[in-house]
Structure 1
């Protein structure tokens, strides 16, 4: 019997160790909120952007948010306004920001669809390009994949053009370039309109 108990204790040790590590590395939402104050000028109060070509961050998946500073740090993504901010962030800040923005409710579009015909074309393009296979059926994103439902229309349009031209790289670059490259300007407009009004 004592040998059996010893085996159970030894088997449980790794579990106890990794459970303890999770607690050590758990994100701090209050710290994330405090750090996010610098983000408000561009990305808006509560992570809802009011600025042209600047994405909303509220409701984005935690890992997606965490990856973006890493891409900026490495130079894979480039943005003059982001660079000085990214340089001040520790890995802990990045983890806290990811958890904080993921905890916020995404933008709820209260305006009616400005152009139902354009949205219908966008829905067709989204289905044809299999956008849901990565971004999920509701386009809410998951893990390291962006939430695109309800994102700013101008930002979605810009991101698709950037992927198409190769200006934007980073996570999902190969998949996004493959999707965006064959899109016409009209399809990009339709996709951006459709997704922004979801």
Structure 2
């Protein structure tokens, strides 16, 4: 409860602080140099289980950084980095990553698995939050073109409850009933969009 309250207060400071200042994409690009080692040049990750950040919605990036900074989302590698970020840094990083083009889709090497994934996406109503194109919106992640193994990891974490709290509660409800086959099919389908 305390972490949720701290996260909400910090989020309000980021999103609703006064006076409201516009984001500085150039400053975000400069600050993103801290992120390149894991999340890749131009926000396109080359590392297993590390998400690509290019074309993620601005508010999604901001909220995730706030969750990491508040400790409501935990990651040993992220913690020391986000502790250095102030509210302007978070706002600028969100704008920078949102301004980048998404990763080009790879050819689908298993269209049958993608068909099963598309069916699972419809059955689980994934588009109701992630949009019809799965490009995300506002504080909802872009999952189209995301790294396949990262999507599998994230869905497993939501299913097990390892990733929870705040705005992520809806994903835990959606992921809990997923079978391992559905998780793999969804991840494959979304990664190849």
TM-score normalised to structure 1 length: 0.86
| 1:147/1:45 CA distance change after superposition, 3 Å | same
1:175: how far off?
1.1
Contact 1:71 1:170 in 2 (8 A): no
- Which has the larger Rg? 1
The aligned counterpart of 1:93 is: 89
Q: Give the Cα separation in 2 of the matches to 1:117 and 1:77.
A: 35
Residue 27 of structure 2: aligned partner: 31
- Matching residue within 45, 48, 55 for 2:41: 45
- In the TM superposition, 1:19-168 aligns within 5 A as 25-109=21-105, 111-168=106-163
- The CA RMSD over aligned residues, in Å, is 1.5
| Aligned length, in residue pairs | 177
Distance between the aligned counterparts of 2:168 and 2:18, measured in 1? Answer: 30
* CA-to-aligned-CA distance 1:83-137 (integer Å, 9 cap, x gap): 000000000000000000000001011x310100100000000000000000000
Residues 153, 192 of structure 1: 8 Å contact kept:
yes
Q: Helix, strand or coil for the counterpart of 2:85?
A: coil
Match of 1:190 among 167, 185, 190: 185
TM-superposed deviation, 1:188:
0.1
How far 1:169 sits from its partner (Å)?
Answer: 1.7
Deviations 1:14-60 (A, max 9, x none): xxxxxxx9996000111000000010000000000000000000000
Q: How far apart are the structure 2 equivalents of 1:23 and 1:163?
A: 36
Counterpart Cα distance in 2 of 1:177 and 1:145: 14
> What TM-score results when the alignment is normalised by the length of structure 2?
0.89
Structure 1 unmatched ranges of 5 or more: 1-20
Q: Is the Cα contact below 8 Å between 1:119 and 1:194 reproduced in 2?
A: yes
Aligned to 1:12: none
Give unmatched runs, 5+ long, in structure 2: 1-16
